[in-house]
Structure 1
């Protein structure tokens, strides 16, 4: 019992280490170009007459800033690639639960149609004194 718990904790620790390593690698890949272009922009002489160089540096800065922002978006995909437990949870949340919900809604509508049939009401005839005359 204790050995199984230790093995389970080791697997979780291994997955946590893999997740952290993957996040650091993605952060370096996405952040390093932005840092390099920012440092270049700080060190370059901002000459007013050189519009082409300013435009190129601004374009590169915008592209690398976009790449830097993708760092925060890409977490989901990195975790899907690295962690098997995360893949199982994502599959459960994104595929199985909505599918069960759709099936239950379809089953409810089909059973409600067969269960809630309308039957004609049998009207009782009552004769009033005016009708009999």
Structure 2
């Protein structure tokens, strides 16, 4: 009989395996959507090459430049990275600093120290986390 209605094929469900937090691999362009490097990058602006983290470029007001927007789309607000497995901040974590005891929430307005990043990946804008 000709009355069979085609059913839409459901898209495959991606499997997110828990991944430990090793040093973040360099993302490949066009792979994984909205990502950016977590470490220092070099960008040529106006005949000079500047090296900083995406956060450093943002603090310096450089997100106005297309090259910085392309290299740092999450930090510069061009897109929102999807929080992946392992992006949750540790709400119990805190670290003494010269400015007092810092929680992950406190680190949001600063450039995180390397030792803080595994505990506060979202606040520290670790690769793929916002």
TM over 0.5: no
**Greater percentage in helix:** 1
* CA radius of gyration, larger in: 1
What is the TM-score when the length of structure 1 is the normalising length?
Answer: 0.26
Higher relative contact order (CA 8 A, sep 6+): 1
- Relative to the length of structure 2, the TM-score reads 0.27
